[in-house]
Amino acid sequence: MKNIALVSFVFLFAFQLRAIEVTADLFYYDENKIQQEFKELNALDYFLKEHPDAETEELVLLFPSLANTLNNSLFEPFNQVEILAPGRFPSFWFTFALSAIGTYFIYGAVAGPIAVGIVYFNTNKDKNETKKAIWGCVTGTLLGAGIKYAMMNL
């Protein structure tokens, strides 16, 4: 039995070494290729350091391959386009948390609508964010009331 365990261990270890050998070339890269890819970005960076008051139109003329990124007014890093409520929370979760906690305790009838009002005025009366806040208030109130009902009656 010891021999079978030893042979199994040796084969398992040998396959692990083979796996390391096969995937080892994934960590090699061509530095010249990377430098070539970033060549135009480095030129843009240098130009912006020398001319900090340059406008977008001038940059588009000087760097045409970057025109789509420079000219795109909808460009958002990491695709973050949601307007955030106070405390940098999304509107839905801001009102949801206040409504759920508020409904479980005594001030629940007031906390949700106040949170919706905060979101409404903080986002400059944005209808989409206010709609998210109202849905957060409704679901938070229902969840808080359900938990309170379950705690009282069960």
Q: What's the pLDDT tens digit per position in 55-94?
A: 877 877 887 777 666 555 555 554 555 555 666 678 888 8
pLDDT of residue 8: 64
78: left (phi over 0), alpha (psi -120 to 50) or beta: left
**Local structure of residue 154 (DSSP, 8 states):** -
pLDDT of residue 148: 83
Stated pTM of the model: 0.45
pLDDT of residue 106: 66
Distances (CA, A) of 91 to 110, 121, 150, 151: 17, 12, 27, 28
